[in-house]
Amino acid sequence: MNEVTQEGILKLLCQRLTGLTKADFEITSETNLITQLAIDSIKLLNLIMEIEDNFDISVPVNALTDVITVRDLADLIYRIKSESK
């Protein structure tokens, strides 16, 4: 796989979330996953499973409790990916 960057993960997340939520506004790094996107926990967990496969990582469910914005999620994925190398 190509070198994974924080920005790359962020971009991918914004793309995937746009498709998933049909939001009528632009999703950015600061978008709140729960209050602004109203993404339910099942959709979020499914998206995370997809991302896990994409980056060959496992994201612990309990790590998600600190995730509020899209950037938080991207940071978490980046951190796990870096640690797994």
Partner 1 sequence: MSLLEKLDQAAAARKAQLPGGIGAFGIPIEAIYSATEARIEGRKILLFGTNNYLGLSFSSECREAAHAAIDEEGTGTTGSRMANGNYSGHRALEAEFADFYHCRSSIVFTTGYQANLGTISALLGKGDVALIDGDSHASIYDGCILSGADIIRFRHNDKDDLEKRLRRLGERSKNTLIIAEGIYSMLGDQAPLVDIVNLKKQYGSLLLLDEAHSLGVLGETGQGLVEKTGLNHEVDFITGTFSKSLCGIGGYCVSNHEQLDQMRYVSHPYIFTASPSPATIAATRAALKILRTATELRKVLWQNAEQLYSALKDIGYQLGPQPGPIVAIILDNPEQALALWNGLMTANIYVNLILPPAAPEGKSLVRCSINAAHTPEQIHYVSQVLSELYTKLH
Alpha-carbon distance of 76 to 70, in angstroms, equals 10
Compare residues 15 and 84 and give the one whose CB is closer to partner 1.
Answer: 84
Q: Does 57 bind partner 1 (CB under 8 A)?
A: yes
Alpha-carbon distance of 78 to 73, in angstroms, equals 9
Q: Does 32 bind partner 1 (CB under 8 A)?
A: no
Instruction: Kindly state the helix (H) or strand (E) to which residue 13 belongs, with its residue range.
Output: helix 6-21
Q: Does 60 bind partner 1 (CB under 8 A)?
A: yes
Give ∠ CA 54-60-30 in degrees, rounded to 5: 70
Q: Does 56 bind partner 1 (CB under 8 A)?
A: yes
Select from 11-19, 23-31, 46-54, 66-74 the region that touches partner 1 (CB under 8 A).
46-54
Alpha-carbon distance of 64 to 35, in angstroms, equals 15
Q: Does 46 bind partner 1 (CB under 8 A)?
A: yes
* Interface residue list for partner 1 (CB under 8 A): 40-43, 45-46, 49, 53, 56-63, 84
